[in-house]
Amino acid sequence: MQHPRERRRGMSRREFLRRSAGSAVALPSLAAVLAACDRPGETASREQINLLVPRPDSPVTLPMNGEPIPTDTPIEQGADLQIFNWVDYVWKAIVRRFVEENAEHDISFSAVTTFNNMEEAVAKLQAGEIEADVFFPTIDVVPKLAVAGLLQPLNHDLIPNLEQNVWDVYQNPYYDQEWRYSVPYTVYTTGISYRRDVISDDEIYGMANPWEILWDPSHRDRVGVYDSYRDTIQTALLKAGITDISTGDPEDLGVARDELLSMLDVVNPRATINGSYKRLPQGEFDLHLSWSGDIAAGWGYVPTYTRDYYENLGYWFPEDRRGPVDNDCIAIPANAPHPRLAHEFINFMLDFENAMDNFSWVGYQPPLNDAQPALLTETEGLYSQVSGWAEPAEYVLPWMEAAVVRQSDFDVGYRQAPLSPEADERWNDVWQQFKAGVTTGG
Amino acid sequence: MTETTVAEQRRVEAAVPAPRAGRLRRWWSNPWRKPGFLKAVTWGYLAWSILPLFVAILISFNQGRSNSSIQGLGLNWWWGDPSGSLFRDPELHVAIFQSLRLSIGTMLITVPLGVAFAIGLDRWRGRGSGTANFVMLLSFVLPEIVLGVAMFLVVVNVLEFLNLGTVAQVVGLVTYQLSYPVIIVRARLLSIDKEYEEAAMDLGAPPRQAVRRVLLPMLYPAILASFTVVFADSLDDFVTVRYLSGPASSEPLSVKIYNFSRGSPTPAINAAATFLLFATTLVVIVGYLAYRYSTRGQHRDELTALGQV
Amino acid sequence: MSRPAGSAAPARVPKLRRGRDAQTNGVHYPRWYWQSFAAPAIAWLLVFFLLPLYTVLSIAFGTVDPILRTPVPVWQPWWWTTAHVAEGLDKTFGLFQTVYLRTFGYVLVASAICLVLGYAVAYYVARYAGRRKTLLLVLLISPLWISYLMRMLAWINLLQPDGYVNRVLTFLQIVPEPVGWLEGRGITVILGLVYGYIPYMILPVYAFLDRIDVNLLESGRDLGANPLSTFLRVTLPLSRPAILAGLVIVSLPMFGDYFTNTLLSGSPSTTMIGNLIDDSIYTAGQQPEAAVLILILMLLLLIPIGYYLRSTARTAAAR
């Protein structure tokens, strides 16, 4: 049964987008797009805006802003692989394995260039300040960067592993049909991680609206949220019962803002990026908004690496799987110094063994056909095996089974779709109010 | 002067043997005794200021992974751990080299510019000198975030040929540090009379030579102090270099510490910071010794110049 | 100064000039001589200091590209748009008012602590240190060349729930259980600010107290005043310029500080002005807002900066 608000918005937007989706084919060239941006103050055309707001029910085929590199391009020799990624989001040991496997091309790798949030990454890419071979965007920036000509189209012949190994849902994702610019990297859900020694499983699973536990005054000063506007505001939306987590409706966002400001009053949360995988296991938080992969990797950051201590880490996600579910991508920036090597790397990361080994360290699950969800809670990952100083841990600890992502989750879950510029402004306004610490009391 | 007065007083008091019973009372009733309270406050402050550093250094020798409590001592994070230790992790090497590169580069540009500026400002009589002085002092007194953000916006939106990275960072640092040599050198210039140069010129030296051969050697202590100060200050600069950093290879150690503190720091970062600390201490000691040697017998204006501005 | 008799004529004689050069006691420098020394630095400051400041202005009064949401600077003042500035001013008295007041509060308290503690330390070292003076001076100056980030890192280590500060406090029974220092407390941020900036208070005050003529202080004693009275009536009034200078030098950077809050707190309830600027600079479409915030910050600091510049000019002229 749809929420009354959903239907009202859905119909008008669906019609509107259906009308203009056809024009995606007859798109003006990129030069024209950029030329239109020359005079400040002139609004971009409707077609261009539509590309930037794909929805699962109105997918988007991004325009080709150039030709992918030819299939017979040789791998660059003596290259230094440049990766642009979140902090701690790819296992360096796996990258070094890639370097070793391609030793004949004399490539090297020293460090990952990191960013603290996607806005910072996009700002640096837009300014042309970073020259990366591979970039790990969230799905909402893929259309924006593709339209702006900052990503290059992928040559599918060089990445055979995608069609072989990856879930069907990603053969034609809604935000990048025909996977022209991106491949999926990891899949995850967004729930709440909690300390099982402070809050029992029954307590949180038994609540009528478990999202409310983040507003519980008995956990004051011990609650964390992500320093990411999409994830935190969407949590407030979900707590208020609004399921369109990519809404641009000012009323909905007003509700979310009020919820967030009351959270400041009641609970004094802290905004972090490492709160769930590092600080909650270390005892600094009792509750934290969490991506499933963060808490799955949490066992690596506990003070004492015993099974008993692992049992203190828990994860909650709606049992009917109606919650935020999403994926991250890998893409190749347009100014990549070594595009052929980048393709090779992407194909390497989509290989089952490499992806699973990376998963064992990063905690984030790859959407591969052979990764049977049922086995993930029973098999010990490579990272755990090589960590002699820690007691064994499965890919996903059995008592946080909710952290395992299944392909069926994508049928019922909510996706974090890209926002239109006006909607983005409103979301940013709400975020600013939250970050400024302006409480409803004063 | 203070020392002689106090020493005098002590000598006087020591000459008169005090009756045992009255010693305590005399100590209490002497209003000009050394105040123990201030002494305690001072040493307490110094402990508060310096001890955490020793703890940070100690943690770099931690056997375990924790950043907050010692789990045994060892060289694990210095060169033991195969991928994360200071010696083995190329990321930390790059950061340390970048820090050194930035501070040396900044030092080499800032000091000549600043010294010349100081000499020019000091001797310049006329319109414009006040404005130039004002702009220089403004760059000294504005919060660093203003300069960092302004430079970021300029590099990203205006000076397109300049990319974020080492060059931009050096440019930003030089701008931020330029006032230090000026202030230090001007303090010394105040005590240098013009008659030395004028004597040289009376003897027939052209102005350029007078400056180069007479004035500059007299300024060596100040120049030395400037080099040391600019080096030390830009080595751990954070705000400007963070905004102007580009790829990972251009992030100096200060930015790495900041990023890691928001991620998952291991004691290796403490090791890297300790390493850089020793390097800086060495440079400062060398600089100070050279300064003392070059100012033997003279009044040392530069140290107090920094305080007075 | 006349040439010694019998010396050979010099190879080159500087040409005689009139006017400006006549001021320099008969020694003749070419025109613009000293200016040429200052020229490279002036050019540098023009391009890399004044130009960026002007860019901040042009972006604050400029527009935003609709698709990429990047700022578009407008260079000619007659085409300036006031949308961003209006919005910024609006927010200053509305949404961000709490942040400004909070920052003022933190800086006020932190500066006051710096003053009291710093003055006490400087006084002791200047007047009573005796033989240990050099050692104490070295220890006092040391924070200036020890990385600020490393010192903050040390504090983060110490203030963890299982860190040594909590261990000592619970051991001594001062607190019943470990305190969450890093859980978004204003006091932690204030102490962090004090920790970071107090050396900038101690040095000017020390330099001043070191140079005070002891006779002035002794005169109070000779006239029968006790130490406290001498301090209040002689030393303190004399040190007023040094105190004010120290306060200005200490408080100005505190206004722009954002990393102390990020490292020691991370909670929105302790956000400072610097955090607002830092957050908006990396958000798409919000760089004009960052520029406006910078302008407002500079405006706010106009008075202390102006005071500082004026007093420096005065002391320079007095010399």
Q: What is the mean pLDDT of residues C94-115?
A: 93
Number of H helices, E strands in chain A: 18, 9
Look up the domain containing C187 and give its range.
96-214+240-318
Q: Does A338 touch chain B (CB under 8 A)?
A: no
In tens, the pLDDT along C266-290 reads: 888 899 999 999 988 877 778 899 9
Q: Do C266 and A272 make contact, defined as CB atoms within 8 angstroms? A: yes
Report if residue C311 sits inside a domain.
Answer: yes
Given a cut of 50, is residue C100 above it in pLDDT?
A: yes
Given a cut of 80, is residue A286 above it in pLDDT?
A: yes
Distance CA C247, CA C264 (A): 23
| Domain boundary assignment for chain B | 90-308
Does the reported pTM lie above 0.90?
A: no
Determine the residue type at A153: P
pLDDT band of residue C12 (cuts 50, 70, 90) is low
A312 three-state secondary structure: coil
- The residue ranking higher by pLDDT, A140 or A403, is A403
Distance CA B210, CA A383 (A): 70
Q: What is the mean pLDDT of residues B55-59?
A: 87
A388 three-state secondary structure: coil
Q: Do B158 and C51 make contact, defined as CB atoms within 8 angstroms? A: yes
In tens, the pLDDT along A294-340 reads: 999 999 888 888 899 999 999 999 999 999 999 999 999 999 999 99
Most trustworthy range by pLDDT among A50-54, C29-33, C116-120: C116-120
Subunits adjacent to chain A (3 or more Cβ pairs under 8 Å): B, C
Subunits adjacent to chain C (3 or more Cβ pairs under 8 Å): A, B
Q: What is the mean pLDDT of residues C143-169?
A: 84
pLDDT on residue B98: 93
Q: What is the distance in angstroms between the Cα of A89 and the nearest Cα belonging to chain C? A: 20
Lowest average pLDDT, out of B104-108, C41-45, C93-97, goes to: C93-97
Residue B263 DSSP symbol: S
Given a cut of 80, is residue B99 above it in pLDDT?
A: yes
Fold of the domain spanning B90-308: MetI-like fold (1.10.3720)
Q: What is the CATH number of the domain that holds C309?
A: 1.10.3720.10
Residue A55's DSSP bridge partners are: A58
pLDDT on residue A81: 92
In tens, the pLDDT along A135-183 reads: 999 888 898 889 888 999 999 999 999 888 999 888 889 889 889 999 9
pLDDT on residue A300: 85
- The ipTM value here is 0.83
Q: In the numeric block, which tokens belong to residue A251? A: 């009323």
In tens, the pLDDT along C197-235 reads: 999 899 888 888 887 777 777 777 777 777 777 778 778
Residues of A in contact with B252 (CB under 8 A): none
Residues of B in contact with C171 (CB under 8 A): none
Name the residue among A144, A147, A269 with its Cβ closest to that of C267. A269
pLDDT band of residue B190 (cuts 50, 70, 90) is confident
Fold of the domain spanning A83-186+328-386: D-Maltodextrin-Binding Protein; domain 2 (3.40.190)
pLDDT band of residue C193 (cuts 50, 70, 90) is very high
In tens, the pLDDT along B192-246 reads: 777 887 788 788 878 777 778 888 888 888 898 899 889 988 988 999 999 998 7
pLDDT on residue A323: 93
pLDDT on residue C23: 46
Given a cut of 90, is residue C185 above it in pLDDT?
A: no
Name the residue among C120, C256, C291 with its Cβ closest to that of B153. C291
Closest among A282, A293, A265 to A359, alpha carbons compared: A293
Q: Does C252 touch chain B (CB under 8 A)?
A: yes
Query: Chain B residue with minimal CA distance to C208?
Result: B308
Query: Between helices A250-267 and A421-435, what is the axis angle to 10°?
Result: 20
Closest among A425, A9, A6, A52 to A229, alpha carbons compared: A425
Distance CA A7, CA A53 (A): 18
pLDDT on residue C303: 86
Given a cut of 70, is residue C24 above it in pLDDT?
A: no
Q: Which CATH class is domain A189-324+415-435?
A: alpha beta
Report if residue C49 sits inside a domain.
Answer: no
- If one counts the domains in chain C, the total is 1
- The residue ranking higher by pLDDT, C23 or C177, is C177
Neighbours of C178 (CB within 10 A): 16
Report if residue C170 sits inside a domain.
Answer: yes
Distance CA C266, CA C159 (A): 14
Closest among B229, B218, B221, B217 to B292, alpha carbons compared: B221
Tokens 């306060």 locate to C247
Q: In the numeric block, which tokens belong to residue C84? A: 């961003």
pLDDT band of residue B150 (cuts 50, 70, 90) is very high
In a mutagenesis test of the B interface, which of A97, A129, A135, A273 is the best target, namely the one with the most B β-carbons within 10 Å? A129
In a mutagenesis test of the B interface, which of C20, C21, C32, C34 is the best target, namely the one with the most B β-carbons within 10 Å? C34
Q: What is the distance in angstroms between the Cα of B80 and the nearest Cα belonging to chain A? A: 14
Query: Chain C residue with minimal CA distance to B195?
Result: C1
Query: Chain C residue with minimal CA distance to B273?
Result: C150
Q: Does A152 touch chain B (CB under 8 A)?
A: no
Report if residue C44 sits inside a domain.
Answer: no
pLDDT band of residue A266 (cuts 50, 70, 90) is very high
- Mean pLDDT across chain A: 84
pLDDT on residue A28: 30
pLDDT on residue C250: 92
In a mutagenesis test of the A interface, which of B68, B262, B269 is the best target, namely the one with the most A β-carbons within 10 Å? B262
Q: In the numeric block, which tokens belong to residue C81? A: 């748009």
| Domain boundary assignment for chain A | 4-51, 83-186+328-386, 189-324+415-435
Name the residue among C142, C158, C287 with its Cβ closest to that of B55. C158
Neighbours of A152 (CB within 10 A): 23
pLDDT band of residue A123 (cuts 50, 70, 90) is confident
pLDDT on residue A32: 35
Q: Do C284 and A269 make contact, defined as CB atoms within 8 angstroms? A: no
Given a cut of 60, is residue C86 above it in pLDDT?
A: yes
Q: What is the DSSP track for A47-104?
A: HHHHHT--BTTB---PPP-SPPPPTTPPPPTT-B--EEEETT-S-HHHHHHHHHHTGG
Q: Do C98 and A221 make contact, defined as CB atoms within 8 angstroms? A: no
Q: Does C160 touch chain A (CB under 8 A)?
A: yes
Query: Chain B residue with minimal CA distance to A108?
Result: B90
Distance CA A235, CA A248 (A): 15
Q: From residue C75, how far is each of A126, C70, C295 by CA, in Å?
A: 22, 16, 16
Residue A315: phi, psi to the nearest 5?
-140, 135
Residues of C in contact with A433 (CB under 8 A): 95
pLDDT on residue C158: 86
Given a cut of 50, is residue C251 above it in pLDDT?
A: yes
pLDDT on residue A20: 33
In tens, the pLDDT along A188-243 reads: 999 999 999 999 999 999 999 999 999 999 999 899 999 888 999 999 999 999 99
Name the residue among A40, A119, A437 with its Cβ closest to that of C98. A437
Q: Do B146 and C35 make contact, defined as CB atoms within 8 angstroms? A: no
